[in-house]
């Protein structure tokens, strides 16, 4: 009889294990819905960015001066030749003050953060001599000099002041005519006085979304940014020297020396290829919690918490003497999967915390009511509600944790295993008096 009972208990555990693994199928379907909604959200962000302005990267300003190059005759008999190329000269000093103000743009169910950035730029271009990297014998043409500024999305420019260079006021025009820089704006600096250093200043207002990047092109670059966005993510090759983040926004400052920047003080375009877009100090308008991202994380814990809930029912069976039908386990499992779909749909309209509380309340009421209808026991119904609410309270803590999620999850598994050990402690069979260890 004991062997028969043991075989029946083993079979029940096997059936419950198969049911737990079978829950992967509906969980995968809910995960597919979550992925699809996430794609809709990302597509909405792309649509807003295409209309407002995408990730902005600002490089410059650069002083571009035509340079006449004379090559001597070579050994193959080729005679000397003269051609004109462009020499790019970087500022010896650059100071940027950036004020970023964000706003939320609504599209269907979604809210997308965008920003308007006001850049106040000052600096100094060096004299056109050997001290600024100009090679000996180079013949420059400052009468045709120009200033170029790289901007990744020029259609999002709201306003650009005149470019003040020394005592001159230069007007910006579209385009850079510089393949090494890409899109942007330029200003003619004809008659540039290269015998001495020239101070410059201008303001630029542009729109963008997701991120803003600045290239520290100065011999010394001092950049300071203030913003109303409370969740910055600092990226790029240069991290802030100082930063302060609060619920009202953030401030950050960078100081980059020319030795830390992978750019020469000047270079000849025909001889050297330089990419300025890789050397950015960037800030992303990071959204720390989106419902889709957190629901996706919750689904990854799905089978674990379904197994823990089934384990709780097994413990009830072993301690109270009940026997739930495998179909009833399957129905409870589907209710547990429905929790994630409810969480997904509610989080599109409510804050995640409120959506999670509502979904947990619905799940707890659903399962506790089902146990009440099956057993008629108020005590067991109450215990079921407490266990389900506690399990999904732990899941909420796991979703909120980043560093300690693995540690807490491992602790929950140990507690579940301990509960199972306690419930099965009396299932061991001991040999009778007339039995020996060799009997079968």
pLDDT reported for residue 132: 60
Q: Which residues contact 55 (CB under 8 A, 6 or more apart)?
A: 49, 152, 153, 208, 209, 210, 211, 212, 213
User: Domain locations in the chain?
Assistant: 2-40+291-427, 53-285
Structure tokens at 182: 């890409």
Structure tokens at 269: 């375009």
pLDDT reported for residue 305: 81
Alpha-carbon span 313 to 336, nearest angstrom: 13
Checking phi first, is residue 129 left (phi over 0); if not, alpha (psi -120 to 50) or beta?
Answer: beta
Q: Are strands 93-107 and 220-227 parallel, antiparallel or unpaired?
A: parallel
What is the CATH code of the structural domain delimited by 53-285? Answer: 2.60.40
Q: Are 181 and 148 in contact (CB under 8 A)?
A: yes
Structure tokens at 137: 């014998």
Closest CA relative to residue 419, chosen from 273, 309, 268: 309
How does pLDDT run along the chain (440 residues), one tens digit per residue? Answer: 344 455 566 677 777 778 888 888 888 888 888 888 888 887 877 777 777 888 888 988 999 888 877 766 555 555 556 777 788 889 989 999 999 998 887 776 677 788 899 999 999 998 887 666 666 666 778 888 899 999 988 888 989 999 998 888 889 988 888 887 888 999 988 878 778 888 999 999 999 888 888 988 888 999 999 998 888 888 888 888 899 988 888 999 999 888 887 778 888 877 767 776 667 888 888 765 567 778 888 888 888 788 888 877 777 776 666 777 778 888 888 888 888 888 888 887 888 888 889 999 999 998 888 888 887 778 888 888 888 888 888 888 777 765 555 666 666 666 666 655 665 555 545 444 444 444 33
Alpha-carbon span 44 to 38, nearest angstrom: 10
């Amino acid at each position: 009889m004991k062997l028969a009972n043991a075989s029946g208990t083993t079979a029940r555990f096997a059936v419950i294990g198969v049911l737990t693994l079978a829950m992967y199928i509906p969980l995968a379907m809910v995960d597919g819905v979550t992925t699809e909604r996430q794609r809709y959200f990302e597509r909405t962000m792309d649509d807003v960015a295409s209309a407002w302005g995408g990730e902005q990267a600002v490089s410059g300003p650069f002083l571009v001066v035509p340079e006449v190059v004379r090559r001597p005759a070579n050994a193959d008999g080729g005679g000397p030749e003269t051609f004109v190329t462009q020499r790019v000269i970087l500022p010896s000093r650059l100071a940027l003050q950036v004020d970023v103000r964000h706003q939320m743009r609504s599209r269907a169910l979604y809210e997308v953060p965008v920003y308007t950035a006001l850049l106040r730029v000052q600096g100094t271009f060096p004299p056109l001599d050997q001290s600024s990297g100009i090679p000996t014998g180079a013949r420059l043409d400052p009468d045709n000099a120009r200033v170029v500024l790289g901007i990744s999305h020029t259609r999002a420019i709201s306003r650009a002041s005149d470019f003040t260079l020394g005592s001159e006021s230069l007007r910006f025009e579209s385009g850079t005519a510089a393949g090494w820089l890409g899109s942007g704006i330029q200003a003619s600096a004809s008659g540039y006085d290269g015998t001495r250093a020239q101070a410059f200043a201008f303001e630029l207002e542009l729109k963008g979304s997701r991120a803003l990047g600045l290239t520290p092109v100065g011999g010394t670059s001092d950049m300071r940014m203030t913003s109303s966005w409370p969740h910055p993510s600092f990226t790029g090759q240069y991290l802030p020297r100082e930063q302060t983040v609060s619920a009202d926004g953030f401030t950050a400052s960078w100081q980059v020396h020319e030795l830390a920047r992978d750019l020469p003080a000047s270079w000849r375009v025909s001889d050297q290829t330089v990419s300025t877009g890789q050397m950015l100090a960037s800030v992303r308008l990071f959204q720390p919690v989106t419902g889709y991202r957190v629901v996706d994380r919750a689904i990854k814990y799905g089978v674990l918490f379904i197994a823990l809930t089934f384990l709780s029912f097994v413990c009830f069976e072993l301690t109270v003497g009940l026997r739930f039908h495998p179909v009833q386990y399957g129905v409870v499992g589907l209710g547990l999967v429905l929790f994630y779909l409810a969480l997904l749909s509610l989080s599109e309209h409510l804050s995640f915390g409120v959506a999670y509380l509502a979904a947990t309340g619905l799940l707890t009421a659903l399962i506790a009511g089902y146990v009440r209808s099956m057993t008629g026991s108020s005590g067991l119904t109450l215990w079921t509600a407490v266990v389900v609410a506690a399990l999904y309270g732990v899941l909420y803590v796991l979703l909120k944790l980043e560093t300690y999620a693995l540690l807490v999850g491992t602790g929950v598994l140990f507690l579940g295993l301990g509960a199972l050990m306690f419930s099965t402690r009396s299932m061991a069979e001991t040999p009778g008096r007339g039995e020996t260890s060799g009997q079968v």
